[in-house]
Structures are given as C-alpha cells and as structure tokens.
Amino acid sequence: MSYAEFSPNSDAHGALAWLAEVPASVAVLPPPLPVMPPPLPPGPSRNYVLRHWRGECRLPVATWVNGFLGSILCVIALLASLIAFGTLLIEEVTATFWTLSAIFAALVSIMVWQCVGVWRSATRYRSGGKRFWGGLAKCVVLLVACPSAWVSATSVVPKLVEWHHMMLHDPEIGPHTFSETGNGTTLVFEGGIKFGVAEELEARLAAMDHVTTVQLESNGGRITEAEKMAHVIKARGLSTVVAGKCVSACPTVLLGGRERYLFGDARIGFHRPSNGGVSSEAIMAEEEDRLVRLGLSREFAKRTNDAMPDEMWYPAPEELLREKVVTEILRGKPEPAEAQAEKADDVAPAEVKPRGMLRAAAAD
C-alpha cells in the first residue's frame, strides 16, 4: 500500500501494514536532546600561593606585593637567620653546609614562584588588551631572573661545593703531617692546607714551648686557612723557612714569619686563586689585599695573579728578597732531624742555637 492509497478512513490493519513497508532510513527518529551549555571555568583558588602561581592575581599585586615586597621580606629573614646562627656557622662546617644549602634552596623556590606568577599575570594583562604593562612586567622578570641565575651559577653553587668538600675534610687537597726537628725548636709542616689545620697548628705550638721556627713544605690548599696559619705564627713571633717547595697558598703561611728564610734551591710559587675552580676579579682583589696586609707591595701582589689557577709563577730568589717575601737566603740544605738531635746532645743547653735548623751561612 502506498502513502497515496492510505487515508484516515483506512482500517488499522492497513495502517500497520503501511508502517511495515516504510524503509528504515526514513523511520521516524526521536527528537534530539537539548544542547547543554559548556561548563563554567573554575573560579580562582582560595590558596593565595596557588593563585599567584597560576597568574590569577592582578598584575600590580603580583609584581609589587608578591615580587618586590616578598623579596625584601626574604632578605630580612635571611639576615635574621645568619645573625641567629652566626656562631654555629663559623664553628661547624657541617651545620654551615646544610644551613646554606637549605637557605639557597628556599630562595630559589621563592624566586621561581615569584617570576612564574608575575609572568603568567602579565600574559593575562596582554591578552586583556593592556599590552604595554604586561610586556613591561615581563621585561622586569627577565632583568631580575637572568642576573640571579648567573650569580647562583658562578658564585653560590661553587661556594656550596667548597663547603661540601670542607665537610668531607677536603679529600682532594691531600693529607698533612706535623713533625719536629732541631731538638724541638723547629716544627715541620708538610702536605695540604685543609680546613682545620690552623687550629691544629695552634694546638701543637701551645704544647711545644721551645719552637722558634716553622718549616713549610706544601703544594697549597685553602687560602683562608693559610692566612689563619700565618696569624698564628705571627702572634707567637716565630720564623718561617722553606727548604723545598712552597706554592699556591703556602707562601701566605710563610709571610706570617717574623724572619723568613729560603734555602738556595728551594722554590716559592704563586698563582691566581680560585673558588670551586672559578676565579673572578673579586677573588683576585681579595687575594691582593691579603698579600698587602701581610707585608708585600701592591705591585708584587698584582703580579701574583698573572699566572692562571692551573699555572705557577716562581719568582727568582733575588726578587723574593727584594720584595720582602723572604728576609734572608741561606746556602746549603737544612740538616736532617737525626743529625740535629745528635749535635744537640753533644752541646750544653745554653749553647743550643735558638733557631735550631737554621745553621747555614747567609748568602751575600
């Protein structure tokens, strides 16, 4: 039966037969469901830290409150912590390393939070039509973040590495030993100048009443520790002598002697100091000031920085004498400790020379 043949007067049986003949493609479909509106975007977080991180804070708030004012509060907190733990940081290497590491990690985290929040807030400002202020805020972020990253990489991280090595007792510097010769009148220091050796030197000198001379044989080490050793020697009015090799930080210890002796073929070497393998103008200027404080001329102190950290400059003995690095050049070699002990046993106590091993004739 066709549609034309069907009429309301047809019987129900005919209507059912017609529906059975309708193709499935033209079957009556149910009405479509109503279209739902898209979900609303999530509202601002109630967590203030998270709001700034997402850039949901207004740009002035993100820049001036969270950025500028937050940095001032961080500096105040840093100074307060250093004052509170100052004595502990000076005396304890392990406490210093972990405290500085924690402070550095906290500052880096805060700075990343500040910069990311300001950057995202500036992006919202630019998308809202305020392109100038958004772009200016991003420029400020770059001007703050780039120098901070550079300082961290070139100064802070090497310093933390240095403190970590100190905490591990400076294994790369090498061991050191103390011994005595000249019937107890000469204390011999050999080896690396690592953290804590100045205190050890002071303790040994306190236990040895007759020491008048400190003999040095060292490839150097920590320059600040060498300066401490120089102050210990200078405070006791002792003499220093180099009979072999004294390079890098070792000459700083030598300069602490009231009289400074050099045996003819011994060598004293200088080079540019470094901190964690990194040398800078500030480090070189500090080293120049240190040498000037110990009695050298400014011109000579500048020349000691001409050699790179992996090089060594050995001034001629005459120049060392002229620049007052040494006060006297001695011929020959110091006698071995055994020979000095035998001579001391054969001489009355009143005849023992106060400088023990320094018995060679002075050079002309």
pLDDT in tens, 149-164: 998 888 788 888 887 8
96/113 Cα distance (integer angstroms): 26
Residues 326, 261: contact at Cβ < 8 Å? yes
Min mean pLDDT across 64-78, 191-205, 341-355 is at: 341-355
Residues 213, 188: contact at Cβ < 8 Å? no
Instruction: Classify strands 176-181 and 186-191 as parallel, antiparallel or unpaired.
Output: antiparallel
184/182 Cα distance (integer angstroms): 5
β-bridge partners, 278:
275
pLDDT at residue 318 above 50?
yes
- The overall average pLDDT reported for the chain is 81
Closest by CA to 254, choosing from 170, 336, 189, is 189
Closest by CA to 121, choosing from 67, 70, 74, is 67
What pLDDT score does 63 carry?
92
Place 49 in a pLDDT band, splitting at 50, 70 and 90: very high
Residue scoring higher pLDDT (291 or 96)? 291
All domains of the chain, ordered by start, with CATH?
48-167 (no CATH), 176-351 (3.90.226.10)
| pLDDT tens digits, one per residue of 323-359 | 999 999 987 666 654 544 444 444 333 333 334 344 3
Q: Which amino acid makes up residue 124?
A: R
| pLDDT tens digits, one per residue of 244-289 | 999 999 999 999 999 999 988 899 999 999 876 666 788 899 999 9
- Counting every residue, how long is the chain? 364
Q: Which amino acid makes up residue 208?
A: M
Burial of 217 (0-12, 13-18, 19+ CB in 10 A): middle
294/221 Cα distance (integer angstroms): 18
User: Mapping DSSP to helix (H, G, I), strand (E, B) and coil, where does residue 123 land?
Assistant: helix
240/334 Cα distance (integer angstroms): 13
How much is the average pLDDT of 102-130? 91
Q: Give the alpha-carbon dihedral of 248, 192, 340, 213, to 10 degrees.
A: 60
H/E segment holding residue 330:
strand 328-330
Residues 347, 189: contact at Cβ < 8 Å? no
Closest by CA to 258, choosing from 333, 355, 129, is 355
Q: How far is CA 202 from CA 38, 92, 186, in A?
A: 79, 18, 14
39/36 Cα distance (integer angstroms): 9
Q: How far is CA 109 from CA 74, 104, 124, in A?
A: 12, 9, 23
What pLDDT score does 157 carry?
87
β-bridge partners, 218:
246
pLDDT at residue 215 above 90?
yes
Q: How far is CA 338 from CA 133, 191, 212, 264, 295, in A?
A: 81, 21, 18, 22, 35
Residue scoring higher pLDDT (88 or 120)? 120
Rg (alpha carbons) of the chain, rounded to whole number = 40
